[in-house]
Amino acid sequence: METIISNYKAFTNVVNIFVRYLSIAFFIIMVIDVITSVFMRYVFVKPMVWGEQVAIYCMIWIAFLSASVAFRKGAHMGLDLLINNVPDVIREIIKWIANTLILGFLFIFTIWGFKHAYAVRFQSSPVVFNMSMFWAYLALPVGGVFMLIQEIGVIINGIEDEM
């Protein structure tokens, strides 16, 4: 059992690093896109029609990917007032209930996200090179999968402060 826990911790470390680099890549693309859009609009007076949409899609991906990093660090909003003022036994029961509800929500969210992304696969963005909206909506289930992975890691290993 101990090897499974240590292997899962190593797996979540790799996933966390991958998600961080992917988020950084989307952020760099978004910054370059916004700077280029501003430059094109005000210097050349020739605005890029697709610049704003690319920035929005990058921001959506960043939000859903980085949410999994926040799960790992325990950075999502919570109510510590209740948890800190109850006996240890009740605290563990509340944590178990909360983690079960979070897992259930993330599972439903991920399934729904895949169904929704699949449903909009034939819709295209007229502004961003006729890109299928599948790619924009895929951020939901992909983020959901990474959040599930990190939430299971939090349940097994607790909240990580490193990285």
Give the model confidence (pLDDT) of 43-98 as tens digits.
988 888 888 999 999 999 999 999 998 888 877 777 677 788 889 899 889 888 98
**What is the per-residue pLDDT for 160?**
62
Question: 4 and 157 in contact (C-beta within 8 Å)?
Answer: no
Q: Is the pLDDT of residue 163 over 50?
A: no
Q: Is the pLDDT of residue 32 over 70?
A: yes
Domain ranges of the chain: 2-157
DSSP assignments along 132-162, one per residue: EHHHHHTHHHHHHHHHHHHHHHHHHH-----
**What is the per-residue pLDDT for 85?**
86
**What is the per-residue pLDDT for 19?**
96
Q: Is the pTM of this model over 0.75?
A: yes
Dihedral-angle region of residue 17 (phi above 0 means left; psi in -120 to 50 means alpha; beta otherwise): alpha
Q: Is the pLDDT of residue 3 over 70?
A: yes
Higher-confidence residue of 157 and 70: namely 70
pLDDT band at 162 (very low <50, low <70, confident <90, very high): low
